[in-house]
Structure 1
Amino acid sequence: MDGAGVVTGTVGTVDGFSYGVMTPLAAYLMACLGGALGLRCTTRSLLVERSWRPGWLALGATAIGSGIWSMHFIAMMGFTVAESPLNYDKRTTFASLAVAIVMVGIGIFIVGYRGSTPMSLVTGGTITGLGVASMHYLGMAGMRLRGHLEYSTTIVTLSVVVAVVAATAALWAAVTVRGLWAAIGASLVMGLAVSGMHYTAMAAVRVRLHGGLGALGGEAPAGLLAPMLVGPVVFLVLAGVVVMFDPLLVMGTPDWQKPGEAPEPVPVPRRPVYPPYDA
């Protein structure tokens, strides 16, 4: 037993819902927002001129990556270990955001340029899902506490499978779903899948306490995570404005009409024919 009354080598008391349903609900909404914007941008990339496609795909990848990353750390605000304070390493935390955006981007670009073939969906979905899982476990590696994390191999494997399946389904929805309400429904399902992956992965975590009163390193969540979340949230709001004012939407061009295709003819009412007027 150390000076703080903690038995070294014992398992810590973990609580992933210290704020009740507030953090899971906020995390889910953030995942839905990022998913909705990312799916919409990916869909738009298939409907605009080829020169505009990289921009829409990059915007979609950044939206999904930022949404997933924000969801993870909003959920982590409710994660506590009773026997130890928690800090986060800034560099590792930022690196997890970069990993999310880059790997999601690779998957989206594959589908954006290869189309919705089974091979491209499986390849893009696998890379995107591995990016989501990598972001999660890299973010967890940035955690600093008086102990270390242990994982259940079975549950970790399950969480990666969930991430890959969810990412593949999301990419499929991006290239097949048409219409605003259908896109909203797809984003709600994607948010549920991403949140489910997160909490499945958290179920694999066990904290083995070291004890001691030495410095933890890193920064406290309130001082690091809250300010860091401002940037991705602001970006998602701005991306939402861009999507809302997309010229295709403003002009009323239907989702299924691709550039270069002639618009559907608008019926013109025929002028009535009157009999000749006899003076």
Structure 2
Amino acid sequence: RVSGTDIRYDVPLTLVSLLVAVLVVCAGVFAVGYGRNRAPALLLGGLTTGIGVASMHYLGMAAMRLHGEVNYDPVRVGLSVLIAVAAATAALWAALNTRSPLAVASASLIMGAAVSSMHYTGMFAVSVRVTPSGEALPGATAMQFIFPLAVGLGSYLFLTSAFVALSPPARERQAPVSARQQPAGSTAP
């Protein structure tokens, strides 16, 4: 927790961190899904995804604007990256090897705990020395950034749900066009 200064966020850099996360997870899944040798593909996918997730975290931290200096403990940063790589490797392994709903749910809970561990270890690596200033900070507040994002995501989910709910069932989509165009009660010649 940082007190004594306002905090703003560099929106383009925050969006870059999101893009990095999406791209590296895709690359990791691709490496595992299309790799010919399972073990090397899993290690490459876990390494790529883990480093990418850690990059997303630290890019997000770099997007913070405040009156002061942010420093990192390199040992704790390294530990957070190791946790991210281990968690990503475990998640990719689970995606390849678990089939039962209970195993998938357990793997998801373990992955959630691992991601939280990476985040909190990364945050434990941070120290902030506040320099009081009356100068306005550039960037968006958390609410200025998160509110439009939440509204956009909510709108997307609503519209997608409406589209799915209003779509005809598969059997209607597969019926011949002529059968769908006949008036009710009439018989085909």
Same fold (TM over 0.5): yes
Looking at structure 2, the residues matched to 186 and 108 of structure 1 have their Cα atoms a distance apart, in angstroms, of: 16
Counterpart in the other structure of 2:138: 217
Structural mapping, 1:86-125, within 5 Å: 86-114=7-35, 117-125=38-46
- The 8 Å contact of residues 116 and 175 in structure 1, kept in 2 or not, is answered as no
Counterpart in the other structure of 1:135: 56
Superposition TM-score, scaled by structure 2 size: 0.79
Structural mapping, 1:48-197, within 5 Å: 81-114=2-35, 117-197=38-118
SS of structure 1 residue aligned to 2:136: coil
Looking at structure 2, the residues matched to 232 and 96 of structure 1 have their Cα atoms a distance apart, in angstroms, of: 18
* Cα deviations by residue, 1:74-117 (Å, 9 ceiling, x for unpaired): xxxxxxx1111111111011111000000111011000111671
Counterpart in the other structure of 1:62: none
Looking at structure 1, the residues matched to 76 and 139 of structure 2 have their Cα atoms a distance apart, in angstroms, of: 28
Instruction: Please point out which of 116, 128, 143 is paired with 1:207.
Output: 128
Looking at structure 2, the residues matched to 113 and 136 of structure 1 have their Cα atoms a distance apart, in angstroms, of: 27
The code of the aligned residue for 1:150 comes to N
Looking at structure 2, the residues matched to 108 and 148 of structure 1 have their Cα atoms a distance apart, in angstroms, of: 37
| CA RMSD, Structure 1 to Structure 2 (Å) | 2.2
Bigger CA drift: 126-135 or 205-214? 205-214
Q: Which has the higher helix share?
A: 2
Count of aligned pairs between the two proteins: 161
Identical pairs, percent = 48
Looking at structure 2, the residues matched to 215 and 207 of structure 1 have their Cα atoms a distance apart, in angstroms, of: 18
The code of the aligned residue for 2:65 comes to R
Looking at structure 1, the residues matched to 156 and 51 of structure 2 have their Cα atoms a distance apart, in angstroms, of: 23
SS of structure 2 residue aligned to 1:212: coil
SS of structure 2 residue aligned to 1:150: strand
The code of the aligned residue for 2:5 comes to S
Residue 234 of structure 1 deviates from its aligned partner by 6.9
SS of structure 1 residue aligned to 2:4: coil
Mark the runs of 5 or more structure 2 residues left unpaired by the alignment.
Answer: 165-189
The code of the aligned residue for 1:86 comes to I
